Every structure is written in structure tokens, then in C-alpha cells.
Amino acid sequence: MIVALDNTLLTLLLNPSAPPPLDPSTGRPVSSCEARVKGLIEDIEARSGKVIIPSPSLAEALAAVPSLENAMDVLNSSTAIRIVAFDQRCAIELAEVTRLAKENGTLKSKEFGPRQAIKNDRQIAVTAKVNKADIIYTDDDRQTHFAEEIGLAVKHTWELPIPARYAQGKLNLAD
């Protein structure tokens, strides 16, 4: 299995003080985000899968971490994680996506946000698709929209379980 992480999940992994997303079913902040993302990566690694990080996601996430060195150590410590470039194949795929968006009149849609942010989201989604990701993990509504638009399955932090190995145990004080 190949999964992709966008900058929202990558930031939660690399910067534990980053604000958590809100769970849409409760309206409350998602708990244990770092543990959820670590658990996902460890589970994929145990199954010999791959976690790909599109280079535009990496750039955004690294801009939000307190230490570039520590962040890169975390990424380099996993055999499952691969940084994938926005390369020529991605550029060709993005050109097709952009042409379709122009034809459909959605390229400049204000409802999706600033044009540069839209371009970045498209680069991330296309990079994941070209590198054969089965799923992209994101907490960004706009990224979700574009990823689904090009045929990627999307999952969110609030859908990830808190692995038992990271859950805090309860003390039995009745003894």
C-alpha cells in the first residue's frame, strides 16, 4: 500500500505544538494527533508499505517546524517514508488537470481560495497520484476536494485510531 501525507498531517507529525484540526463530527480539536500519524506510519512500515510525501507538502510543513534538523531526523528514521518530487510526469498531469479546470470554469473559483494555494494543492494531489498513492491523508477541505476530483481516496486525522501503544493507560486506584 502507498499512502501520501499532505502538509497538514506532516505538520502534526513534525511539530507536536501545531494546532490540531477540528473533528467535524464533534467540533472539538482532535486529540493525540502526533500519535495517530506516528501509528499510521508505523503500521504501514510494518506491512512493507510506503508513505510518500510530495515535495510541496514537505516545503509547507518544514516552514512550520521549530527545528529543520529534528524534522528531517524524524522523516529519515522511517524506512517507509519517501519524499517524492514534483517532476516532469507531475507537471504533465497537472497541465491536464489545469486544462480541465479551465474548461469547467473552476480554475479561478473564489470558493476554493487564493489561486496560489489552489496551485499548491493541485501539485500535492497530482504528485500523490503520479506516484501511485492509494490514499492521501489531509485535513484540508480544499486539498480533499482536489484529491477526490482526480480520483484519490482521502482520509483525515480524526479517522485514524490512537494506537494502543500510544494510548495512556488508566491507573486502577481501587487496590
Q: What pLDDT digit, counting tens, does each position of 37-55 carry? A: 999 999 999 999 999 999 9
Q: Does residue 83 sit in helix, strand or coil?
A: strand
- Tell me which DSSP letter residue 29 carries: B
Region of poorest pLDDT, from 62-71, 122-131, 164-173: 164-173
Task: DSSP letter for 17, please.
Answer: T
Q: Which residues pair with 29 in a beta bridge?
A: 22
- Contacts of residue 76, defined as CB under 8 A and 6 or more positions apart, other chains included, come to none
Q: What angle do CA 135, 139, 145 make, to 5 degrees?
A: 65
Query: pLDDT higher for 29 or 167?
Result: 29
Identify the residue with better confidence: 69 or 106.
Answer: 69
Nearest Cα to Cα of residue 157 among 66, 79, 2, 41: 41
Q: How many CB atoms lie within 10 A of CB 23?
A: 16
pLDDT exceeds 60 at position 175? no
108 DSSP 8-state letter: T
Class of 2-162 in CATH: alpha beta
173, pLDDT greater than 60: no
Question: Measuring CA to CA, which residue among 110, 106, 44, 118 is closest to residue 81?
Answer: 44
Model pTM score:
0.86
Look at residue 168 in the predicted model and tell me its pLDDT: 66
The predicted-structure confidence for 95-142, as pLDDT tens digits, reads as follows 998 898 788 876 654 445 666 667 888 899 999 999 999 999 999 998
